[in-house]
Amino acid sequence: MSRDAIAGVYTQMLTDPSYRKIVADDPKVLNTWDLSREEKAVLIKEARVKVAGTSLESGPVMKHLVSKRGPMLSPPVASGLGVALNQVAGLPLGALNGPGFLSNAACCPWGKPIIGKVPDQLRGKGK
Amino acid sequence: MTLASQASREARPGGRWSTPDLLTDLLRLAALERAVAHVIAGWVPKVPDLDDKLAIAAGFEDAMVRASALRQHALALLERDELGLAADPLWTAPLRELDRCADQAAVVDGLLGDVPSFLLDRYRALEAGLDPLLDTRLIATVSTAIGRLASDVSPIGTAARRRVHQGSLAAALASAWTGQSAARVPLDDALWQPNDRVPVPARPAGRERPTTGVRGHFRKGSRLTIEDLAGELNDNVMAELCALELLCRSSYEHPRQPWSVHLAIARHGTDEARHAAIFRRLLNANGIDESTLHQHGANYEYSYEFPECEPGSERELLWRLIILCTVLEALAIDKLPVEIGGRDFVGQSDFARALDYIAADELFHTENGLRLTRRLCEKLNLDPILERERVHGRFFGRQRDVRIEYLEADADRAAAEIAILEAPDPDGVPYVSRTEVELRLRASFTIEECQQVERWQYNPVRHERLEAPVEPASS
């Protein structure tokens, strides 16, 4: 459950910046969780560094989760962490619904994809 | 007492096996076939002409199947000693050169002409020396290879597209077959690293690419209009091509993955080539000239690389397979019943029947993708649900961004499109989708993974097995 615990605390830090600050300033708050000493250190380090966007991938907690073998995260924790990471990165959390989109959009091939940008350097080369 | 020696068996008059070089022949053919699959996988996205693209793609799975079968036959003769599965890099050198070649026409000519012609000759020569009883199982493999390579029908059911081109490649293959160097490498390591990356797939010259931010196809009227049918079928062709091409590059850019992974990818990819051929046949049957229609590579371009993944990394491979096989193909499982119902509702039976066949394949594609991605997640110590959440956000985030830019650029155009999108179905088709839990479970999704897609809110009707309230995503 320890992996779930560190992922859960990190999710809370991502969704609530004030909680991140609390962890950074008063690490004792982590004692209420089932965390190892190493995991607490990782979370404190995470709380004290500024990470955003794609650098989330290389943050202390994500690195820890990848480097430590153990049971998989429970589905709600995994899903919750993914949602939180996407939210911080400004990415959609579900289907592209709403004006200008369609509720079944973006399903290959039945909802039609939206045409993307082509890098300029690739234009004019038969591609 | 003396142990019988292996060497004396090898020195037997006439050789240990039915032909003197049987083991070497099998290893040579296995290495060649594996290399052919590698070249095909690398080049499919780089060939612009759709007939040529599908013709070379059609051979992907066959080459990989033959390579795997020959490897197994060789392993049996080696009494399962994997160390004996070795190849001389010289054998595949002509194909390595072909792959490096910048001349797209020469590559297509080679893959449709010299290469199959050379392999056919080698299989026939091998078959002629085999013993009908001692080599029964091998004969089955070899005669199947001969039948497939000589057939007038391609492995995806289209007319075989052959090139007769006895040029330098043919000579190089013949020379490599008889040549020998001192080098031996494990058969599994006999491939070469990718020569390039291909972020945008090639499409036919002269066919217009739609404006950035527009939907690939935008239904403005009845399904029964030729305009809508053309747009719909053409966009399906593009989507199938994108899936094919992404799978091909996923194989080519990761030559060190186990052969079983490449075989699984090749089988899926060849299905996609066949699906593209099915939609092109429907276009043709409806008198639609595809050369006048748009072209794009949207799903491929959005799935090829991600800022979160190092280019060429296994995580990038994982994200490609997750988004294609376990998100998009799985959403097709939910959406196809509605689409098929709609086509039947308006009397487009041929279209509906084609979709029924394709729907049956989607279950395999999803199951295959789940197996591959779970294995990769285990290897990389990543969590499938977490990774699926991340790549889903990135893939659709890119589409959202270009779409919003497009809508904001022209308010009148946006209003007109929104009015059409929000209007009732033009044909009165009454069907709506739900997360198809039974189908997804049969494809090896877990119920928690079904909950994940339910939370994404693609499907308006809640399945009775997903009764537990699912928190809607708040953006």
pLDDT for the residue A51: 65
Locate B275 and state its tokens: 């699906």
Band (B159; pLDDT cuts 50, 70, 90):
very high
In this complex, is the C-beta atom of B218 within 8 Å of any C-beta atom belonging to chain A? yes
Mean pLDDT over the full length of chain B: 94
Candidate from B389, B399, B407 with C-beta closest to A86: B389
B400 contacts A92? CB cut-off 8 A:
yes
Nearest CB to B302; choose among A111, A112, A116: A116
In this predicted structure, which of B51-65, B268-282, B414-428, B457-471 has the lowest mean pLDDT? B457-471
What the block records as the tokens of B365 is: 């594609």
Which of B246, B305, B458 should one mutate to test binding to chain A, selecting the residue with the greatest count of A CBs within 10 A?
B458
Q: What is the reported pLDDT for B268?
A: 98
Distance from CA of B277 to the nearest CA of A (A): 15
pLDDT at A44: 95
Return the residue in B203, B326, B390, B425 with the most chain A beta carbons within 10 A, the one to mutate for interface testing: B390
Lowest model confidence (mean pLDDT) among A47-51, B109-113, B349-353: A47-51
Q: With 80 as the cut, is the pLDDT of residue B187 above it?
A: yes
Decide if pLDDT at B225 tops 90.
yes
Instruction: Report the residue from A57, A90, A113 with minimal CB separation from B216.
Output: A113
Looking at chain B from residue 124 to 163, which residues have their Cβ under 8 Å from any Cβ of chain A? Answer: none
**Three-class SS of residue A123?**
coil
- Specify the pLDDT at position A121: 40
Mean pLDDT to the nearest integer, B162-187: 89
| Count of C-beta atoms within a 10 Å radius of residue B373 | 24
In A1-20, which positions are buried (b, 16+ CB within 10 angstroms) versus exposed (e)? Answer: eebbbbbbbbbbbbeeeebb
pLDDT tens readout for residues B258-271: 999 999 999 999 99
Query: Does the pLDDT value for residue B196 go beyond 60?
Result: yes
Predicted local distance difference test score (pLDDT) of residue A126: 35
pLDDT at B164: 80
Tens digits of per-residue pLDDT, B368-379?
A: 999 999 999 999
pLDDT band at A106 (very low <50, low <70, confident <90, very high): very low
pLDDT at residue A83, as a whole number: 97
At B470, is the pLDDT very low, low, confident or very high (cuts 50, 70, 90)? low
Q: pTM of this prediction? A: 0.95
Give residue A105's pLDDT: 46
What is the tens place of the pLDDT at every residue in B424-468? Answer: 999 999 999 999 999 999 999 999 999 999 999 988 899 999 976
Q: What is the mean pLDDT of residues A50-76?
A: 83
Residue B213: the pLDDT is 94
Q: What is the pLDDT of residue B86?
A: 96
Q: Judge whether B45 and B86 are in contact, CB under 8 Å.
A: no
Distance from CA of B432 to the nearest CA of A (A): 10
ipTM metric = 0.90
Check residue A34 and give left, alpha or beta (phi > 0: left; psi -120 to 50: alpha): beta
Please judge whether A112 and B329 are an interchain contact, meaning their C-beta atoms are less than 8 angstroms apart: no
Average pLDDT for B204-217: 92
Give yes or no for a contact between B27 and B83, defined as CB atoms under 8 angstroms apart.
no
pLDDT for position A118:
74
Q: Are B5 and B32 in contact (CB under 8 A)?
A: no
Residue A124 is predicted with a pLDDT of 40
List of domains in chain B: 18-189 (1.20.1260), 226-463 (1.20.1260)
Nearest C-alpha in B relative to A80: B386
A99, A115, A127: residue with CB nearest B210: A115
Listed by start position, the domains of chain A span 2-88
pLDDT at residue A113 greater than cutoff 90: no
Interface of A with B in 4-63 (CB under 8 A): 53-54, 57
Query: Which one of A67, A75, A116 has the shortest CB-CB distance to B448?
Result: A75
| Nearest chain A residue (CA) to B45 | A127
pLDDT at A111 over 60: no
